[in-house]
Amino acid sequence: MTVAARPDRVFITGASSGIGAALAREYAARGATLGLLGRRADALAALRAALPDPERHHCYAVDVCDHAALAGAAQDFLRACGGADIVIASAGISHGTLTERLDDLPVFESVFATNVNAMVATFAPFVAPMKAQGTPCRLVAIGSVAGIRGMRGAGAYCASKAAVHSYAESLRLELKSTAIRVVTIAPGYIDTPMTRNNRFPMPFLMPAGRFAASAADAIARGDSYRVLPWQMGVAAKLLRALPNPLFDLVFSRAPQKQRKEAA
């Protein structure tokens, strides 16, 4: 089952920057009407102004961890557009964490609140309306190759993305008898403001625009799971296959992501 090459109504969280903004530009170029949700009203307004037919798009300056406000934005978009064809939960944060540091516990909680709980809150208002539409629809979970195996110093981020993958798989089974397809996109290293903070080599770094075009094609096909770029998909399969002793030997001294220092 595929959706049209020019989907009508696409709701994207995390649209203020990075992958979310790249997806917004890609779908706008394909003729979609967008719901753009992010925390920064100024960034959303600037993005909207740069898109084709900006008056067609809707902006929502909302923190995805505010579930009531998120649901309100979803309801407004559904009313304004008469439904939704694609919902992309792209909002996410990443910080290095160490379990031995008690001051990192709030960071763990924040990462899970944004990367996992907010994804559930994003999809929830759309499921019943999409079922009622009876037309091909997509719920899209933005995961990460970081969710495939745990990396030292990145326990919160890796665990949150592993949870995203498992959650999306469960949701896919729940909705299998409907016209809604659940698509998991697992990016590798994509050139965004988030990855530019990394202080280690990033193999197969992919431009955000090229990622968005490939992701939109996978979403249109209804792929259940897609790693981008494809080279990282090969690397991901190798990572899964590594026995624990060999994995530990190879990655125990890998560079760590920078921790978020306490304010």
How many helices (H) and strands (E) would you count in the chain? 9, 9
Question: Both tokens of residue 116?
Answer: 């996992």
State how beta strands 180-187 and 137-142 pair: parallel
Contacts of residue 50, defined as CB under 8 A and 6 or more positions apart, other chains included, come to: 25
Q: Say which of 27, 60, 157, 189 is annotated catalytic.
A: 157
* CA angle centred on 183, ends 181 and 189, rounded to 5°: 170
Query: Does residue 157 have an active-site annotation?
Result: yes
- Residue type at 203? P
Neighbour count for residue 146 (Cβ, 10 Å): 21
Q: Which two tokens stand for residue 236?
A: 């991901």
Cβ pair 18, 208 in contact under 8 A = yes
DSSP 218-246: HHHHT-SEEEESHHHHHHHHHHHHS-HHH
| Tally of CA atoms within 13 A in the half-sphere of 27 that contains its CB | 33
List the beta strands (DSSP E) in the chain: 9-13, 33-38, 58-61, 86-89, 137-142, 180-187, 190-191, 206-207, 225-228
Residues 6+ apart with CB under 8 A from 76: 58, 60
Q: Which residues are known catalytic residues? A: 157
